[in-house]
Structure 1
């Protein structure tokens, strides 16, 4: 075996039985546990689909698009990694089939493979290994978590599993570990758990040349030692490497559950790493704070994808982080933006939030929510498209009939939101100009400045349309506050409203930077406003 260039250890997480089994949370939890041992960890998500990135994927099928600091539109699991590991990942941490094949074909066109018939093995598998090792070399992490999307047996994932099998052989058995996440169904009629799906899933994985070192068993209820012993026997793993992860009240409890089964200790021993002492005390305090429910505030989210909560998963989690920070619980109510607001229902909410999105569908409901907030002094948080709706409705209430975004009406009488000049000739939907982190300077004496306690910040963007500067001074004269701008003063980043307890819209996505141990300042300020509104109403 050649001398290892990168000294990282690799933990590969695969899934079996069913999709959406919780590989992302399992991977993130393993990472959190290793971090508690003082191990430097980074993570990679492999998505077998042919898309280059997640930018054009349907939120109903894939959940939200998570944006990294460097502007890559990625799978939502990278959000889990960042929140659990408290790190900022690069877009290279999301490897897709599209990226792999594009890289190989580009090399072939340049003549890098002259004389060779370009094939899945070795060219595609070598490219996959190269991308994984690049992350290792770039981050210098002690452990690289590699989650393989999909389910073992999917034809799309076969090249990735083969590449990871090769990686184990090339890096050495002591440096690559495989964790298989499966589901243990409970048949109520029979009154027992069934291990056969896990046995078949493990057999399928072995058919690729990979034998799992650990099996994480997802289940509706806790399983007993007899079930673990059976799985260990039939799947050829140590019984102490059969780990149960039953459904929990909060995803943030999973690291504590896995740690109680000595997952970290087993991994360190399996990878021949130095024995260390874990410290999950702070994490356990976070979990306890998230369980507080003696004082509740209700936030209504007016969105177009509310049937699938994962479409707004970072917002949901950011609200939870902020509520825990303030020692309260947040109850989230989902409101379909396509429908007219039920005012009697909305009156019960302590605050409203309008998330981002694309397209005209659901805009009327969002505008109604803005109007309600302005007229009833209800705290309102607008994010990305939500901010743009706040500007549109403000303009209309100020007499600018026909105010709109050119995204919805190219011939709007008052195009208060319009496309950037740089974007007018972009043909690729994935070629969005404003992606990733951009700086923003804050105006003193505003809600934003009080929340951040900073004069300038950096936040992540994902949009193509902007506030039309032709209306900036006009709207400021009428009570709109521009509390955040780009350093060159060209772009409006945050708007607020005079004589309103809490009315804030931001063009960026603050939810992407919230952490359970470090709630985002704007969300904390928003939850504080919801608490004050609840007290004001005397409920």
Structure 2
């Protein structure tokens, strides 16, 4: 069996250049040529995973089917390639060091001195190689930028792997910035030169440079970069800003990135990849026939990356309907029952996304009530579904202190802490005072849909699988009471203990889900809940509802 070929993707000059997007796009291009690919992300920060990190710091937490809380770049990987991410696709320095110290405490190192080299680097190399047997190419992205202190063991590990694999089995792609200095009216190549110099000082010579720029990089400047960075001219690839991210694979192909990668591996590159689906997505995205406005009533509005998968899922539904989905970000703390009409009167649909904590909860409940009373299409995800239940308990069942024990212990707990549940036939348990990290109901769970419901109509199947990330659940003791108020629990766990989907009868489109459907949406396979919701919103805008 041939060993996989490894592509190590690093970044320099500044962060946020788009290494994740570059990795996903290159993966999509190799996939379009018929290769099997696997994408991995190594994050140098000391958190064990991003699960306990603030969305303001790190953006959303992406969740895999097998229950890993992972970097949001894994969402890019899935959306661009359709390859489901796994626990073994993301690690951090924190996880590596945790494993190292556990081994040391057990005596696995036989009393020897434990050091960064070889012990930390060996664990990193072990992670990179694990589970890659079935892939033709493994694209391995190193987070942060070259020169970061915490990233040095990761760079050393991939240097060692390059040496061990040899040039026919591994290459390095380095992403840098070529800034335009407006005062001088010039593009500047020096930051790229310094970044490559830094990379070479730790023993890594890049094979390909991806040069991010707002403007076209003239041939003379690319030749200059090639000369000073010691690489062929045709391996200096310009990566220009694009109108939408789904243009990136096509743009990289036009700049011959995939060709250069295959050349580095001495593989044939003359046959063109099949990029038809990407051209269709681009055409639909750039030729919309209508526009709708959706209010996102949340609390992480200052950083859009906190809702990355959600935004993409709306884009996918918009592409499907040839519709611009304009998201209007409404700070949940700024809304109440008195000003809800002023804040929401111009929107065609309302979404309350997932979240944690009590801040902004009353504003979200006010928005849900407004959507329910005014027959505006409403979509609640995770906390949004829970708050829809609380809103109904308060305003339809007249339970004045209806709330969740997440916010207060002194309430009628319509929503309560989940301490025991089934997964794959095994009972999982959690304690109230347990560590926060990795202790939620995480990953894919099956859900049984009730026939003759909106949910069943949308999915058109009886059993679905969706990804979860939460600690609190609907209190099943209030199921019958909410049903008497006009609600239907259209999705229930297989053991019939957990309420997964709630919908309101006699409403154009009112649906809340306990899971996160946005995590499984892709541009070429939009999630049915989002396409159905946007269809209802379009009809609302046209006055059909």
Q: TM-score, normalised by structure 1?
A: 0.96
Superposed, 1:330-369 pairs within 5 Å as: 330-340=325-335, 342-369=340-367
Structure 1: distance between partners of 2:446 and 2:407? 28
Secondary structure, counterpart of 1:416 in structure 2? strand
Secondary structure, counterpart of 1:459 in structure 2? strand
Deviation at 1:101, TM superposition (A): 1.1
Alignment of 1:318 with 2:325, yes or no, is no
Deviation at 1:98, TM superposition (A): 1.2
Structure 1: distance between partners of 2:404 and 2:340? 25
Superposed, 1:486-525 pairs within 5 Å as: 486-525=493-532
Indicate which of 232, 236, 247 corresponds to 2:241. 247
Structure 2: distance between partners of 1:301 and 1:505? 14
2:209 alignment partner in structure 1: 215
Verify the 8 A CA contact 1:70 1:90 in the aligned structure 2: yes
Deviation at 1:80, TM superposition (A): 0.3
Unaligned runs of 5+ in 1: none
Structure 1: distance between partners of 2:313 and 2:198? 38
Structure 1: distance between partners of 2:196 and 2:113? 33
List per-residue Cα deviations over 1:334-353 (Å, max 9, x = no partner).
11111115523411111011
Indicate which of 283, 287, 293 corresponds to 2:282. 287
Verify the 8 A CA contact 1:180 1:212 in the aligned structure 2: yes
Structure 2: distance between partners of 1:196 and 1:342? 52
2:426 alignment partner in structure 1: none
Structure 2: distance between partners of 1:179 and 1:421? 45
Structure 2: distance between partners of 1:118 and 1:433? 33
1:40 alignment partner in structure 2: 36
1:437 alignment partner in structure 2: 444
List per-residue Cα deviations over 1:310-365 (Å, max 9, x = no partner).
00010000011011111211111111111115523411111011110100011111
List per-residue Cα deviations over 1:52-71 (Å, max 9, x = no partner).
11100111110000001111
Moved more, 208-217 or 414-423: 414-423
Moved more, 476-485 or 335-344: 335-344
Verify the 8 A CA contact 2:340 2:370 in the aligned structure 1: no
List per-residue Cα deviations over 1:286-318 (Å, max 9, x = no partner).
121122333011111111001111000100000
Verify the 8 A CA contact 2:50 2:70 in the aligned structure 1: yes
Indicate which of 181, 188, 193 corresponds to 1:199. 193
2:404 alignment partner in structure 1: 405
Deviation at 1:426, TM superposition (A): 4.7
How many residue pairs align between the two structures?
531
Verify the 8 A CA contact 2:340 2:367 in the aligned structure 1: no
Deviation at 1:436, TM superposition (A): 0.2
Secondary structure, counterpart of 2:162 in structure 1? helix
Structure 2: distance between partners of 1:269 and 1:198? 23
List per-residue Cα deviations over 1:138-159 (Å, max 9, x = no partner).
xx11100100000100000000
Secondary structure, counterpart of 1:55 in structure 2? helix
Moved more, 263-272 or 525-534: 263-272
Deviation at 1:421, TM superposition (A): 3.2
Secondary structure, counterpart of 2:432 in structure 1? coil
1:16 alignment partner in structure 2: 12
Verify the 8 A CA contact 1:435 1:460 in the aligned structure 2: yes
Verify the 8 A CA contact 1:291 1:329 in the aligned structure 2: no
2:384 alignment partner in structure 1: 386
Superposed, 1:92-103 pairs within 5 Å as: 92-103=88-99
Verify the 8 A CA contact 1:128 1:163 in the aligned structure 2: yes
Alignment of 1:75 with 2:71, yes or no, is yes
Deviation at 1:191, TM superposition (A): 0.8
Alignment of 1:370 with 2:364, yes or no, is no
Deviation at 1:105, TM superposition (A): 1.6
Structure 2: distance between partners of 1:433 and 1:315? 20
Deviation at 1:116, TM superposition (A): 1.9
Moved more, 86-95 or 150-159: 86-95
2:416 alignment partner in structure 1: 418
1:466 alignment partner in structure 2: 473
Indicate which of 47, 59, 65 corresponds to 1:63. 59
Tell me which stretches of 4 or more aligned residues in structure 1 moved more than 2 Å.
272-277, 341-345, 421-426
Verify the 8 A CA contact 1:417 1:467 in the aligned structure 2: yes
Verify the 8 A CA contact 1:292 1:329 in the aligned structure 2: no
Structure 1: distance between partners of 2:93 and 2:322? 44
Structure 2: distance between partners of 1:64 and 1:365? 22
2:80 alignment partner in structure 1: 84
Verify the 8 A CA contact 1:6 1:136 in the aligned structure 2: no
Verify the 8 A CA contact 1:93 1:135 in the aligned structure 2: no
Deviation at 1:433, TM superposition (A): 3.5
Moved more, 339-348 or 90-99: 339-348
1:182 alignment partner in structure 2: 176
Structure 1: distance between partners of 2:140 and 2:480? 50
Structure 2: distance between partners of 1:111 and 1:518? 49
1:134 alignment partner in structure 2: 130
Secondary structure, counterpart of 2:388 in structure 1? helix
